[in-house]
Amino acid sequence: MDEEKSKQVGKMQVIAFRSGNAILFSTSSPKQMVTTLQNAGKVDLNELQRLYGENAIRSDYALIQRILETTPSKIGVLTPERDAVGSSVVLMIKGIMVPGAAESGIFQVRSAHFQGFQYGDPRSRPKLLDVELFADEGGVRFVFSQKVTGTPPPITQSEINRVIQTVRRVPVKNQD
C-alpha cells in the first residue's frame, strides 16, 4: 500500500498501491438511486413501476437490474406509445449510468451479504473496473483502477472476487 497516495476524499476512500493500481471505495444509503431519480423529477417512479412492476423501485439493486435489462429491442412498431416513451427514457438513463468499462461486459455478482453488478471484464485490462453492491441497509461501490500498459500486474477476477466476498456491514458505534 502507498500510504502517501491513499486518502479520504469526502465520503470516498482511495487506497493506492505502489504498483500503480488503486481502489476507490464509497458507500450509499438504502434506495439512494431511487430517491435521487425521484427528487430530480426526471423519472416518474409510478411510470417505472407500471412499466417494470412493483418490485422495480423496491431497491436500488432491483431498479438497476431493470434498467440494465432494458434494450432497444424492447421497443418496436407495435409497442404502445406510453411504453415506448417510458422505455426510451430508461435507455437514456442506462446510457448515462453505465460506466465505460462495461464495454467488455456487465456481470451480476453476489456474496453472502450483497448482490450487485460488475462493469467490465478484467481480462480486457480496462483502466477502470466498477463494482456496485447492494443490501437492504445500503450499498458499496468499488472502482478498481489499473495502469493499462507497463509492468504493474493487472487486476484479476479472483482479486475482485476476494474483495466482493469479504465485504461485511460493520455496526455503527455510538460516539457519546
Say what the pTM is: 0.84
Q: Assign 58 a pLDDT band (cuts: 50, 70, 90).
A: confident
| CA–CA gap between residue 17 and residue 21 (Å, rounded) | 5
| 176 has a pLDDT exceeding 60 | no
The confidence band for 160, taking pLDDT boundaries of 50, 70 and 90, is: very high
Q: Is the dihedral of CA 37, 42, 47, 53 positive or negative?
A: negative
**Residue 146 to residues 20, 74, 75, 102, 172, Cα–Cα distance (Å):** 7, 36, 37, 15, 32
The set of cell numbers assigned to 4 is 502517501
C-alpha cell at 109: 455478482
CA distance 57 to 72: 21
Sheet containing 106-110: order of strands: 7-9, 12-16, 22-28, 138-145, 128-135, 115-119, 106-110
Residues 6+ apart with CB under 8 A from 40: none
Does 133 have pLDDT greater than 80? yes
